[in-house]
Structure formats: structure tokens, C-alpha cells
Structure 1
């Protein structure tokens, strides 16, 4: 998937998404959760706190 397509899906500009990937711009918690859901993984995996790609089970609220 291209950066442009993912930026469109996430409703951000290409520049903003590219800045996330390059580490020039920090992710909001909301955007980190959106990306984790999109990639079916956990926020901990995205930020390098675990090597386990499996998402956490959804809790009942």
C-alpha cells in the first residue's frame, strides 16, 4: 500500500503520514490506535515495545 493511499484512509495529508513514518512527527494516541486497528496489531508492537504482532483481545465495556 502506498503512503498516499494510507494517508487518504486515515484522513491525513500525505506529508503528515510521511512525517509519522520518518519520525518527524509524533502520533497522537488516537492515531496510534487507528493504525494498530488497521494493521490488526497492538500499539505496543507499533512503537517497538513488543515483538508479538498479535493484537490484544478487545475488552467488554
Structure 2
């Protein structure tokens, strides 16, 4: 979790600026639960450098 949060992309003005992260997970749902997959996806979601996510822009 600490590592993923350290590589979480941040934008200055607009989330369309990027940068973007991608993650590839290998293993079955028994190895990596859907909940964990969702948490990883959230941790890699681009956010504003101010700390607000791009959903807060609207």
C-alpha cells in the first residue's frame, strides 16, 4: 500500500494532463480478491496535487 500510494499520479490543473498508471495483476480471484483489486485501482487513480480527486472538480 505504501509503495502504491508513493507512485500515485498527481496532476496540477486537469486530470487529462496525466501522468497515468496501469497495473497488471496475475492470479485468481482466490489469490487477489475483488475487494483488493478495487483498493489497488483506487490507490493508482490520478488525483490533484492539492489532494482532491478529479471527481471533486465538478
TM-score by length of 1: 0.26
Q: Which has the higher strand share?
A: 2
Question: Larger RCO: Structure 1 or Structure 2 (Cα < 8 Å, ≥ 6 residues apart)?
Answer: 2
TM-score by length of 2: 0.27
Q: Which has the higher helix share?
A: 1
The structure with more radius of gyration: 2
